Structures are given as C-alpha cells and as structure tokens.
Amino acid sequence: MNNGNFFKHKDSYKYDGELSALIWKIFNFPRYRLITLPTPLEKTSNISKDLGIRLYIKRDDVMELALGGNKVRKLEFILADALAKGCDTLITRGAFHSNHARLTAAAARKAGLDMYLVLTPPGSPDLQGNILLNKLLGAKMVHVKDHTEADKVMQELADKLKAQGKKPYIIPAGGASPHGVLGYIYASLEIMQQLYTIEEKPRYIVLATGTGTTQAGLLLGLKLLGVDYVEVVGICVSMSSDETRNRVYKLIQDTINLLNIDMKINYSDIIVYGDYLFGGYGEVTSEVVNSMKYAALKEGLILDPVYTAKAMYGLIDLVKRKYIEKGSTVVFLHTGGTPIPFQLSKIIEKYL
Ligand SMILES: *Cc1c(COP(=O)(O)O)cnc(C)c1O
C-alpha cells in the first residue's frame, strides 16, 4: 500500500500522497477480524451473454461466519469499537428475517459477548431461516410491534443492563453507523484491486440498498481512491429513493466526521432507483421469484427475495432501459441473505 501503483488503473488514475495516507488510515482502523478476505469475485458467462454486458459478481455471501453477508464487514469495525469501549453486550434491532440480527448474534459469540435482538413483525412463526439460526446462537430475542417501539425497547434494555453493572452497546438497525460504513470503504478497495488484477475497468457497481450503509461505504471508498469513472447504483429495497439518498448522504457525512478527513460527496453522485420495491420491504411478488429463478437457471446463483433478487431485477431492467450501457463492465454486489429463501419458502412456493 505504500506503493502508489497498487490500485492504479491505466487510463484513469489520480494519485497523490494524501489519498494514499487516507487509505492507509482505513487499513489501520481497529477491525475485529471475523472472516478471511478477499471474498471471491466471480465472472458470469451466461448472464453476461444474455444481457450484453460483462457481469462480475462480488460474492459477499461467501464468508465463513454463520452464512455470511454484508453485515459481517460492517460488524468487523463495529465490534472493534464496542471492544475498545469495554462493552460486554450487543443490542440491535431488525426485521423478523433480519440478516443483520443473525450476524450480530454470531459475531457476538465469536468475540465472547452477550447479545439481545429486538425483532419486528410481520413474520411467520416457523422456526426457520434467520430465526432458527438466532435460536441456535442462543440470542436473546425480544419481539415488538414496530421500529419506534424497537428503538425504545433497545434503550430500555441498555438502561437496565447498565443498572446491573453491564456495558451494553447499541448497534443501529442494519449496522447503519459510521463504523459500519468503514466495512464497505474497505470492500471498495478490495473490489478495485481484484478488478485491476484481471485488467477489468468497471463502469457500474449495482447493489441492494436498505439503510444505505453499504452504498455510502462504496461511494466514499471510491472517492478515497480517486476513482471517478464508477457509478454506484443502489436498488432500493426498503425506502423510497429520496429517503434512501438522504440516508446515504447522512452516513457519508458522519463517516467523514469520524475519519476527520476533508472530503465531499455531491448529493447528485448518490444514484438510487426506487422502482424495484415490489410492494415494499420484505414483500415478495412473482417478479421477485422470477428474478431468483433467472439467477439460479443462468448461473446456479442463489438470491434471496428481500434484497438481492430485487437488486438483480433492477440490474436487468436498467440494462433493458439502456441506463446501463451495453458492453460495459458491471459488478453486482451479492450482499448475502442465504437463510431468507428458507424462512420465506411458503411465499416463494406460490410463484415457483
Ligand atoms: C442488510 C442487507 C442489505 C442492505 O444493506 P444496507 O447497508 O443496509 O443498505 C442488502 N442485502 C442484504 C442481503 C442485506 O442483509
């Protein structure tokens, strides 16, 4: 990393010592290692041919901790922060099918911490998918009716634990904190390095965007590298495009403050599409299941109906709408969600 050529791309490259120092700062930020990096970068042949693009899949669903997913990268930095503050108990919230909740439980176990998961409905009472894994991980699950109540319950739990002499650490839903963003700043360096090694120059990185943490990290990371030719395209899976853009912007500002760096991301650089929600967060329609089938039949690739299948639908549609240029190199970030098809099998079955 002390050699400026590492991340350089032949025809578009800005290097100066200051950027290099910032990147070094990210590498040296306290990180509790949960997995082996890098995750694989997979080339697709059938989808590439079908869509007329060069499609790579960044396999962040392939990680050794509890079936993996994007939350693991965020948790590496969040956990390091919690441990540095001497905390002994993690508290977080999420939907009934939350990957973040499951991975927080697993990460907590690995680090020897206790954990509480505050979960919101709707959800099937079946002991399946993430709920099954939470049980297996011995997570203390509290079920509440909505987000507002969940935030209140997390605070009450923290107060109660403090009164008992414990040191709780509240992680926002989805790991949406500046420390969480660091996980994907790191990932953006990794992705660019992998592509550089195989002499590919990406034009787009497409991903499912929920809280916006992952997208904020990728945007900031590319900016730190001086890469200005990649569009990070977020496909909204939970909020409207305006709300999502605001969240991404806010997370970027908070992270810039945490790193204490002089950097600016324009609001207009945050590209999000809100056209692929299919009824909203966690809703499954025939289009969503068809997208799962498409990936499975073309590449043997398993997507989940809450996040990655909607993102893949968006990617395909954006190629059809000519927003994504034919012939361009596209990276699809597979953010995980492996247990969700099992948890939502009854709904998926309707459209199979
Ligand atoms: C949480 C999650 C996302 C969304 O990530 P954000 O950083 O919250 O935008 C996407 N895909 C999967 C599988 C997830 O679990």
Q: What is the pTM of this model?
A: 0.95
98 is annotated as an active-site residue: yes
Task: Note whether 198 and 100 are same-domain residues.
Answer: no
Per-10-residue mean pLDDT, the chain, length 352: 40 55 85 97 98 98 98 98 98 97 98 97 84 97 95 98 98 98 96 95 98 98 93 98 98 96 92 98 97 98 98 98 98 98 96 95
| Same-domain check for residues 25 and 92 | no
Q: Are residues 30 and 88 in the same domain?
A: no
Looking at the structure, tell me whether residues 47 and 84 fall in a common domain: no
Strands of the sheet with 271-273, listed across from one edge: 41-43, 54-59, 329-334, 204-209, 231-236, 271-273
- pLDDT, tens digit, 9 for 90 and up, residues 90-111: 999 999 999 999 999 999 999 9
* pLDDT tens digits, 244-276: 999 999 999 999 999 998 888 999 999 999 999
Find out whether the beta carbon of 168 lies less than 6 Å from any atom of ligand 1: no
CA 237 remoteness from chain centre: 12
Q: Is there an atom of ligand 1 within 6 Å of 335 CB?
A: yes
Q: State the closest ligand 1 atom to the C-alpha of 213, by its place in the atom list counted from 1.
A: 7
The reply to whether 249 and 328 lie within a common domain is yes
Same domain as 167, residue 26: no
Alpha carbons 37 and 60: distance in angstroms, whole number: 10
Residues 303 and 158 occupy one common structural domain: no
Catalytic residue, from 20, 45, 98, 188: name it.
Answer: 98
Number of domains in the chain: 2
pLDDT tens digits for 171-192?
Answer: 999 999 999 999 999 999 999 9
Q: Are residues 136 and 22 in the same domain?
A: no
How many other C-beta atoms are found inside a 10 Å radius of the C-beta of residue 41? 18
